[in-house]
Structure formats: C-alpha cells, structure tokens
Amino acid sequence: MKIRIEFDECLQEEEIIIRCPSLSERVQKIQKILSEAENSQEKMLLFKNETEYYLNLDDILFFETGIQGIEAHTIDNIFQTKFKLYELEEILPRFFMRISKSAILNTNQVYAINRNLAASSVIEFRHTHKQVYVSRNYYKPLKNKLEEKRIHANNSKSAGTYTQQ
C-alpha cells in the first residue's frame, strides 16, 4: 500500500481519496479510522450548574460515576452529562473505553499507568493532578489497546511517501 499526500493551494477544503481495486476489509478499516479521526473533533454537550458547555471529545480525560451522576473530567474542570455510562460506551468513538464499572477513559490522554498487581492500577494524565483507576479486569484490554495505538502510530510514520505539487 502506498500513502501519498499532495499539496494543492487551490483547494478550499481537505479531501481524502482512497483508490483500490475492490472494497476490502482493510479498506473499510482505513475508512473507519479516517472517519473517527474526523469525528474526534466532535463536540459533546455537558453541564456545569445551569450553564451548557460544548466541549471537544479530545479535551475529556475520562467519565466517571459521581455524586450528581456521570461526570466528565477535563484537565481543570468537572462537568455533568445526562448520559449513563452504558449509553456513552455506545456513542463515543473507539478511543474511549470502559476501564471499570464506574469509568470510561479517553485512551488518547493516557500519560502513565502505575500498575498494582493486587488492586486497581492508577492512570495519570499530563498537566493535571487528576487520576482514575483501571480495575484488574480491564487492565489487559487497556494495555492491548494502548499497544495497538503505539504500533499503529509507528507504522503510520514509516509507511508514507509524500509528494508536493
């Protein structure tokens, strides 16, 4: 597979064209990844007191069950959502995943995992004191997802041929 990026200053917006001999499973997967990347800038309606906020999904570190319902944590704030965790699991992009009975994590925001073999492990994020716990049952799927993302990122860096026109 060749990946080629062409620059055209006359274009009004970006366009991605996939040329293939047939619609294979691999091509469908690429299309899905590109769609999810585009939708990652999707906004979510969240609440704080009586104010409505429209936040990018990328800005959300994690969702967890709190005293007043489901809370969405960002680096420096906590918002409420009207969704239940099981509803969020259905509507959020693939880079979010369940990490315990009471939390869903944005895997793009993980900075470190402090592993604890006997209990829940602690997930840390950049530029904030906030932490969330991943239960033992969800630890291995989380590690697998993070490894898959790392491998995918490394393959993307080495697979491209770039053309400037």
- The tens digit of pLDDT for each residue in 31-73 reads 888 877 665 568 899 999 999 999 999 999 999 999 989 999 9
List the domain range (segments joined by +) for residue 53: 39-152
Alpha carbons within 13 A on the beta-carbon side of 144? 7
Is residue 96 a contact partner of residue 73, using CB atoms and an 8 Å limit? no
Mean pLDDT of 72-99: 95
pLDDT value at position 163?
45
Per-residue pLDDT band at 11 (split at 50, 70, 90): confident
| Number of domains composing the chain | 1
Q: Provide the percentage of residues in the chain whose pLDDT is more than 90.
A: 57
CATH number at residue 64: 2.40.50.1020
Residue 165 domain flag: no
Residue 7 domain flag: no
Residue 130 domain flag: yes
Residue 116 has pLDDT above 90, yes or no: no
User: Rounded to two decimals, what is the model's pTM?
Assistant: 0.70
Residue 143 domain flag: yes
